[in-house]
Amino acid sequence: MSEPLTVGNTRVKEARKLSRRSVRTERRLFLADGPKAVEGALGVDSCVVEVFATPAAARDHAALLASATITLVDERALASLSDSVSPAGLVALCRHVDAPLEHVVRASPRLLAICADVRDPGNAGTVIRTADAAGADAVVLAGQSVDAYNPKTVRATVGSLFHLPLAVEADPAVAVRAAQARGLTVLAADGAGEVDLFEADLSGPTAWLFGNEAWGLPEELAALADHRVAIPIHGRAESLNLSTAAAVCLYASARAQRAGGGPA
């Protein structure tokens, strides 16, 4: 068995450059850190280029890595590729997995999440994870949203990035109109919305539109939605944070769709 690569190795240095968004975009490559992310990536055909692994992690995860191209690295080299405080010993070099928006909507989704200008990688990743858990058909990151392949975004998805289709669209209005053109009702999550979430009919194909963490949805974008929907606040809290609101909305839709009709 060859000696593990060190932190100064050229291949390790090149992989480390993927910490920069510009490099990820140019090469259409990114790093997926940890066993869950690596497992998810390996489940997607032709996604994984290679897996960097420490010798100990390669032994511990031999079954998971059975079909992968493994590059052994030492602990320092692995740590230099990981965004985690306590690296688990595995980092996959992956090809981008996003699909064109038209491909995503052409598949006739029944539940879609559109994130407009969501800047926090943890929030974006959590919405992707929640959409996956709720059985949504796809997620669209639109406008000035954080890079889907930001290490913190990838980590926050806990592997869900590889479980459902993802589209990236520069103009949120294009995403809204594309969903409507395929027969989805677009609902803007809005604290001042005219429709109460628990009185809304969520049984049909639905695209939820979520806005920026700090200022929500721009008026001109919210106006494109078919309805503005508010989550009722029964206590004294001013509002819910983005990822929590997305979870409530997506699960309300999932429940209504599975029940076959009527309010959630």
Q: Where are the domains of the chain?
A: 10-95, 101-259
Q: Please write the tens of the pLDDT for every residue from 8-63.
A: 999 999 999 999 999 999 999 999 999 999 999 999 999 999 999 999 999 999 99
Look at residue 176 in the predicted model and tell me its pLDDT. 99
Q: What are phi and psi of 250, to 5 degrees?
A: -65, -40
**Which pLDDT value is given to residue 260?**
73
Q: How far apart are CA 117 and CA 86, in angstroms?
A: 30
Name the residue among 133, 112, 141, 132 with its Cα closest to residue 208.
112
| Mean pLDDT across 146-151 | 98
> Closest by alpha carbon to 91, among 15, 142, 9?
15
Tokens of 177: 């109109």
Rounded Cα gap, residues 221 and 39, in angstroms: 37
pLDDT at 248 over 70: yes
At 178-200, the pLDDT tens digits run 999 999 999 999 999 999 999 99
Give the span between the Cα atoms of 259 and 194, in whole angstroms: 24
Instruction: Report how far residue 1's alpha carbon sits from residue 123's, in angstroms, rounded to the nearest whole number.
Output: 41
The pLDDT assigned to 2 comes to 78
Distance CA 169, CA 79 (A): 33
Q: Among residues 12, 132, 157, which one has the least CA distance to residue 79?
A: 12
Give phi and psi for 51, each to the nearest 5. -115, 120
Cβ atoms of 72 and 58 closer than 8 Å: yes
pLDDT higher than threshold 70 for residue 127:
yes
The 10s digit of each residue's pLDDT in 84-116 is: 989 999 999 999 999 999 999 999 999 999 999
Indicate if the alpha-carbon torsion angle 25, 221, 256, 107 is positive or negative: negative
Residue 45 CA to residue 226 CA, distance in Å, equals 37
Which tokens is 139 given? Answer: 């997620």
Say if residue 261's pLDDT is above 80. Answer: no
Q: In a 3-state reduction of DSSP, which class is residue 37?
A: helix
The conformation of residue 172, written as its DSSP 8-state character, comes to: H
In the chain, the amino acid numbered 157 is T
- pLDDT tens digit sequence for 198-234: 999 999 999 999 999 999 999 999 999 999 999 999 9
Q: Does domain 10-95 have CATH number 3.40.50.2300?
A: no
Spatial CB neighbours of 110, under 8 Å, sequence gap ≥ 6: 137, 205, 206, 257
Return d(Cα 124, Cα 19) in angstroms, integer: 17
Among the listed residues 174, 168, 170, the one whose alpha carbon sits nearest the alpha carbon of residue 143: 170
> Quick check: 163 pLDDT over 90?
yes
Task: Please give the model's pTM, rounded to 2 decimal places.
Answer: 0.94
CA distance 122 to 140: 16
The topology (CATH level 3) of 101-259 is Alpha/beta knot (3.40.1280)
